[in-house]
Amino acid sequence: ILVLSCDLPFMDEATLRRLLVARNARPAEAVLTTFQQVETGYIEALVAVYEPACLPFFEEARSKGLRQLNLVIPEAFQARIPYTRAEARKGRDPRLFLNIILPADLERARRLLSPGM
């Protein structure tokens, strides 16, 4: 199941293709394929592919009241695609994972789209 957050206006086709290629090459035990920001360790749980076999993890999380999606699937069952801030500056769009939630986020996105940025 491809999961893609609706608040990522800069997401591009190349990044989604990279995700799907990694999903097809994942280890057999991986039920989640996603991106991981190297500097912070943060995983992009809403730019990911979840296998149907992850259902027991979601059922357990729900029974425990766990709602933080990035904590549902244990690391041992994840295939992660690392990306760095430096990589973003070397040709990849650093805005790819910028999400627009608050009015301030929208203003930031507008500034990034303005000429000279």
Contacts of 49 (CB under 8 A, 6+ apart): 1, 2, 3, 19, 20, 23, 32, 33, 34
Task: Read off the tokens for 41.
Answer: 């360790």
- What local confidence, expressed as pLDDT, does residue 49 receive? 98
What stretches of 1-117 adopt beta strand conformation (E)? 2-4, 32-37, 43-50, 78-83
Give mean pLDDT in consecutive 10-residue pieces for the chain, a chain of 117 residues.
90 92 98 94 94 97 94 97 72 68 79 68
pTM of the model: 0.82
